[in-house]
Amino acid sequence: MLTSLMRLLAEHRQLAYLLLFAGSLVETVLPFALLVPGEAVFLAGAMLAGMHQLDLLAVSLMLVGGGLAGDHASYWMGRRLGPGLFARLHHLPWFGRWPSVRHLVRARAFMRRRGAAAVFLARFAGPVSWITPMLAGSCRLRYARFTCFNTPAVILGIGQFIVIGYVSGRHAGVLLVMLRTHAWIGAATAGLIALLLLLWQGARRRAMRASTGTHWAC
């Protein structure tokens, strides 16, 4: 997926920035978020910037601007359509049953427990980030508070992928040589990272289950 995106952007540089903006925008707008791999979009643009095929400042502005636009669009969808929005979405034949009851319960409990801070923290909580802006709107969180907490979250949340992608693109040649020469190091590192991520996600799920009830009201 990442390689395909990079190839697409490199072959259509005139449209690359617009594509990055659009991809970042729909990444948190349900139901389109299910179809767009946001992290891959962020990394693809940043890696091409690191390879000097795209401008880093323009890439950053498009990704962050798209992320902000998408979150604000989700907020107002939730605000206008109310708490029954997710039930309506579930009636779409191609939407299925996502977000699941478990995701909604987690997101609503997160919103109750953390308040506006949940808008900030959700950007670093995987699929919960797809739901939270819309949920904040449906729960009538004040728009000013949403904007205050959402803006730095988008900058930091997308910024981390821009930094990783840019550094990887800038040193892609060196990294490939190292991986080819010391393949076992790359495999061991990847395995260790995967294990740490699994352990961290397991601990987070247990902590979330311990603090999450079954009440859905905002």
Q: Say whether pLDDT at 191 is over 90.
A: no
Percent of the chain scoring above 70 in pLDDT: 61
CA distances from 156 to 122, 162, 193 (A): 12, 10, 21
Higher pLDDT, 130 or 150: 150
Q: pLDDT category, 214, cuts 50, 70, 90? A: very low
Average pLDDT, the chain: 76
pLDDT, position 71? 92
pLDDT, position 155? 94
Of the given ranges (90-99, 130-139, 155-164, 198-207), which has the lowest mean pLDDT? 90-99
Q: What DSSP character marks residue 182? A: T
Q: Say whether pLDDT at 79 is over 80.
A: yes
Q: Is-cis flag, bond preceding 31, omega within 30?
A: yes
Q: Say whether pLDDT at 74 is over 80.
A: yes
Q: Domain residues of the chain, as ranges?
A: 2-211
